[in-house]
Chain A
């Protein structure tokens, strides 16, 4: 009985695998030495892959008896201990983040990775304002990141403005672009909003590529000034007026990395602080109400226009600040850094973290970006591993890693409420 079911299942799997692998693997176009295009066939490779899928499925069904993994929106086993440890968990995570440069075993590589993760944590928290709180699905968030990066690079290149002046300017400019995107999409919801924001992200990138005389086009902008320690440059020479000389330290390239690390940690925490504060303010509550029901918001006299535009502007502002940090850290930017995949990664961080959960987003960024690094050895298989991990998480935990949330306002004791009891976010 079970063998029959397993055979039937394996046959279906074989058909699906054949449908996938025959065109993808068996037939491959190659360029011949003469320069002509020809089709190279790899029947044996495809046959091996199909056989693997069939045998694998057969074994799996025999073993598990066609047990289908059940999606759970209940609190996961790790959430209850996490919540109990929550009082300590967040401070401990924060403490580790603050102490990271001084921990034994932390070198340049770990710090660089830390900077990268924190950049995505900041972007995730910024996008969370738009997607998690206001419920506006934005697929072009990377555009604002690009605006911030190019603002600093261009202002420094053409006007010689310093990083510390450009940081707020980049935020303001990105916020301005956020409002600009906000206006045409005020009346859109859900899928339509997603399409327009996606297009907006591409428009910004394509303009950056094609306006070569101003932005350097596909070659990007190099030689972007590195940040100074509030005016004291990090130079290797140790001359008077440099950071190392002023504080009586041995000049080291690590100084700048540690400084950059604390800078992005500070910026990320600022984003977090602003989000948490705003959630308790009328504006934050209006965003959440807007996510829940736009018509009801209208009936309550909430100005939908300003509520949406502030969400877009504020989310964009944090992306802009992160962008200008990115530019000064890299010293070189080009449109290649601002492709759609970046928007997708940031959105994945927000969704994986459990929309609206601050700590969940930080964890998701750590897992996603850190995971990218851990699997670097797998090279091109990395994306495959990653895709599988995403699918598994979404099947088992459709509401994100941390799916329970405490109410923003509560009488007396705050009770966490499982994701199962609350509706799914609608774009």
Chain B
């Protein structure tokens, strides 16, 4: 088990965003978390990173309890996140953005750059361009590439398909599948695009107002009528 959450609760101020959430990601697994707006999906990813901190429960990464670790220590220990809204550094070049990802891990970025450029050749073409001048899809590639630079063992992806044309979104998803299949990278994926996300994932969880209501293999969840009604819009 690379990541395990046991009855984790978290929130902001008086607002309780997560209640008794338990989930796990196995080594080499793609796990997807689907839910409506405001269900607490992004909060869950952020809580794993220690910001906000879990109010109750336990988070373990690779057998080590990381619940109380400061954010920067968690992010140095083998978890990387491509945050919601991409958040590339707009005034820094693509290359600078990527190097920022490797900096905290403290290794030479050369080999990792090659790996990211192989995965997203577009980034190599745009290396000298400012992050803010890239298209949405390219920015998403950059955000994922930047996260990969730290050589994570677990990649957290927050809505990578948000605001992207379907074709570009498919490219992003196939890149995730490739990373997982070729390198055995574990991925925890948060998505609103339930259809594609559940097809990609080995397993899925459904989050409703801060609680896990359903879990199961991706394809099996896709076939459940309540999922089809709520997230795919194909029901009656």
Q: Which residues of A pack against B, CB within 8 Å?
A: 282, 285-286, 288-289, 291-293, 295-296, 298-304, 407-415, 417, 421-423
Return chain A residues, CB-CB under 8 Å to B91: 288, 291-292, 422-423
> Known interface pairs A295-B83, A301-B104. Does A423 touch B96 (Cβ–Cβ under 8 Å)?
no
Shortest C-beta distance, B107 to chain A (Å), equals 12
Complex interface: chain A residues within 8 A of B174 (CB): none
Of A296, A409, A421, which is within 8 A of B99 by CB?
A409
A29 to B95, CA, bound (A): 63
Contact B103 A286 (CB under 8 A): yes
Where the two chains meet, the residues of B that have a C-beta atom closer than 8 Å to any C-beta of A are: 49, 51, 70-76, 80-83, 87-93, 95-96, 99-101, 103-105, 127-128, 130, 132-133, 146-147, 150
- Contact call B88/A301, Cβ cutoff below 8 A: no
Contact with B132, one of A282, A286, A408, A422 (Cβ below 8 angstroms)? A422
* Contacting residue for A296 out of B89, B104, B127, CB 8 A: B89
Could you tell me the distance between the alpha carbons of A421 and B132 in the complex, rounded to whole angstroms? 8
Contact indicator A299/B83 (Cβ below 8 Å) = yes
Say how far A368's CB is from chain B's closest CB, in angstroms.
25
Whether A288 and B128, one on each chain, are in contact in the complex, defined by CB atoms closer than 8 angstroms, is: no
- Nearest chain A CB to B236 CB, angstrom units: 41
CB <8 Å contact, A302 and B104: yes
A413 CA to B70 CA, complexed, in Å: 39
Q: 29 pairs across A/B with beta carbons < 8 Å?
A: A286-B100, A286-B103, A288-B91, A289-B89, A289-B92, A292-B91, A295-B83, A296-B88, A296-B89, A298-B49, A298-B71, A298-B72, A299-B49, A299-B82, A299-B83, A300-B100, A300-B104, A301-B71, A301-B75, A301-B80, A301-B150, A407-B92, A409-B96, A410-B95, A417-B130, A421-B132, A421-B133, A422-B130, A423-B90
Residue from A292, A295, A301, A417 having most chain B Cβ neighbours under 10 A? A301
In the bound complex, how far is the Cα of B132 from the Cα of A291, in angstroms? 14
Residues of A within 8 A of B133 (CB): 421
B208 to chain A, nearest CB (A): 26
Question: In the complex, which residues of chain A have a beta carbon less than 8 angstroms from the beta carbon of B90?
Answer: 292-293, 422-423
A301 proximity list for chain B (CB < 8 A): 71-76, 80, 104-105, 150
Which of B49, B87, B93 is the one whose CB lies under 8 Å from A410? B93
Which of A298, A304, A410 has most B Cβ within 10 Å? A298
CB nearest to B133 among chain A residues: A421
Q: Within 8 Å CB of A413, what residues of B?
A: 128
B83 partner residues in chain A, CB cutoff 8 A: 295-296, 299
